[in-house]
Amino acid sequence: MAMDLFGQRELSELILYQGEPPYLSLYIPTERVTSEAHQNPVRFRNILRRAHEELLRWGASPSAIQRIIGPLEELAEREVYWLYQSDGLAVFAAQDYAQTYRLPWRFREEVFVGESFVVAPLVPLFLGNGQFLVLALEKYRVRLYGGGPTGLTEIEREGLPLDLWKALQVDVPEPIVQYRTGLRLGRSRTHMATHGHGYGRENLKRLMAEYYRMVDRALTPLGNERHLPLVLAGVEYEVALYRDISHYPVLVPEAVYGNPESYSLSELHAHVRKILVRWSDLERQQWLERFWGLRGNNPKASEELSTVFFAAIQGRAEVLFIRPDVELWGIADRLSQRLEIVPPGTQGATHLLNEAVINAFVMRTRTFAVSADELPADVMMAAILRY
């Protein structure tokens, strides 16, 4: 399994990219490391043929098409790459530009060609903590997982020290390696863990705190860049120690307690998802109560469509509420800040709710999916404004 991190930095690059059109955006569902993984490159080659036809229909020259499609055709032949996928693959290409992201969301198979990259299919990943990180605090080491709605994948982070003894460049004390016991990882997997008493409790705590500081220094820039929530998993004293020293910007208050090695990945994922649902629901409820408390008494609470939309676009919204069950198309004039609601398929129209969510994500605006009965009647989007 493999997963690529996708956050504000990556989304901003796609939105702000300026190259020669056309731009190609591809989305396909993919299979993880299973007997079905052989379908991944087949599906990709099929969608490349569709992309070639769409580029011709758009009016791209043969040389431009080759510069866009050529690198992707080479990717289709990399057998090992296709064995290590997540649940969906997003590809963005232009002439002499290509980015691929293996993401924890099962996309529909779609091809888009135009004068900008189409990122609307990514919206589910920006709502309700669709992406997150899990830091498993194991005995004298850590593991970092990326997660989404469908599962966890262990990921590599440059500079992340995985082992206490190697990170601190100290010898493993002799009693640590005297004997081993098997720990349950799942129904058919075990892990050999070492035990011993080579260091006094205070010395070991000092070493662990120093090690956790090194881990946190490697992860905190990740949180600043991508703003992904981080859930800790470990025994209580390790979680408490890490939380005390951490500067990670989105550290979830609740943790998965217990030895992480005693959980299978699916069990750990289930525990983490429950925590994130509770955390997100609590946050959403608190912000909704604030919205209703301000509504009618303070202009910072707005449900007027154009006000909310342009506040999200410009970073003036502190919190955005949207109804993901609604499709709302319009033409936005950013100079006059006026919206014209139009039928789907109208030339120049954009999906207003998706556009608001995408820009809110880039601006680090808290965004919540809500139901119709949580907002005023006939309101599809509302916000608490910063000013």
Are the CB atoms for 93 and 22 separated by under 8 Å?
no
Instruction: Answer whether residue 181 is part of any domain.
Output: yes
141 and 198 housed in the same domain: yes
Instruction: Answer whether residue 286 is part of any domain.
Output: no
The residue type at 102:
R
Residues whose CB is less than 8 angstroms from the CB of residue 333 and which lie 6 or more positions away in sequence, other chains included: 339, 340
231: domain CATH number is 3.30.420.60
Instruction: Answer whether residue 300 is part of any domain.
Output: yes
252 and 147 housed in the same domain: yes
Please give the model's pTM, rounded to 2 decimal places: 0.78
Residue after which a domain boundary falls, among 243, 278, 313: 278
Give the CB-side neighbour count of residue 157, counting CA atoms within 13 A.
24
Instruction: Answer whether residue 235 is part of any domain.
Output: yes
96 and 12 housed in the same domain: yes
273 and 136 housed in the same domain: yes
162 and 246 housed in the same domain: yes
| 230-234 vs 256-257, strand pairing mode | parallel
265 and 140 housed in the same domain: yes
* Domains: count for the chain: 3
Residue after which a domain boundary falls, among 76, 100, 120: 120
**b or e along 113-140 (b: 16 or more beta carbons within 10 Å of the residue's beta carbon)?**
beeebbbbbbbbbbebbbbbbbbbbbbb
Per-residue pLDDT in tens (0 to 9) along the chain, 387 residues: 577 888 888 988 999 899 999 999 999 999 887 667 788 999 999 999 999 999 999 999 999 999 999 999 999 999 889 988 888 999 999 999 999 999 988 899 999 999 889 898 988 888 777 889 999 999 889 999 999 887 888 888 889 998 888 888 877 665 554 444 444 444 444 444 444 445 567 888 899 999 999 999 999 998 888 888 999 999 999 999 999 999 999 999 999 999 999 999 999 999 999 999 999 999 999 999 999 999 999 999 999 999 999 999 999 999 999 998 888 999 999 999 999 999 987 888 888 998 999 999 889 899 999 999 999 999 999 999 999
Helical ranges in the chain per DSSP H: 8-16, 39-58, 62-76, 79-83, 164-168, 201-226, 236-245, 265-294, 305-314, 352-362
156 and 243 housed in the same domain: yes
Residue after which a domain boundary falls, among 222, 244, 278: 278
- Give the closest residue to 368 by CA, choosing from 283, 253, 270: 283
108 burial level (CB within 10 Å; 0-12, 13-18, 19+): exposed
| 179-184 vs 151-154, strand pairing mode | unpaired
- Give the closest residue to 81 by CA, choosing from 102, 66, 98: 102
351: domain CATH number is 3.30.1330
Phi and psi of 232, rounded to 5°?
-90, 145
Q: What is the pLDDT of residue 189?
A: 46
Instruction: Answer whether residue 144 is part of any domain.
Output: yes
Per-residue CA distances from 378 to 290, 304, 305 (Å): 20, 11, 11
Instruction: Answer whether residue 127 is part of any domain.
Output: no
Domain that holds residue 27: 8-120
Place of tokens 């301000």: 294
143 and 246 housed in the same domain: yes
34: domain CATH number is 3.30.960.10
Are the CB atoms for 270 and 247 separated by under 8 Å?
no
266 and 156 housed in the same domain: yes
Instruction: Answer whether residue 174 is part of any domain.
Output: yes
Instruction: Answer whether residue 214 is part of any domain.
Output: yes
> Angle at CA 164, nearest 5°, toward 228 and 186?
65
310 and 233 housed in the same domain: no
Q: What is the pLDDT of residue 158?
A: 85
103 and 141 housed in the same domain: no
Both tokens assigned to 255:
């943790």
316 and 367 housed in the same domain: yes
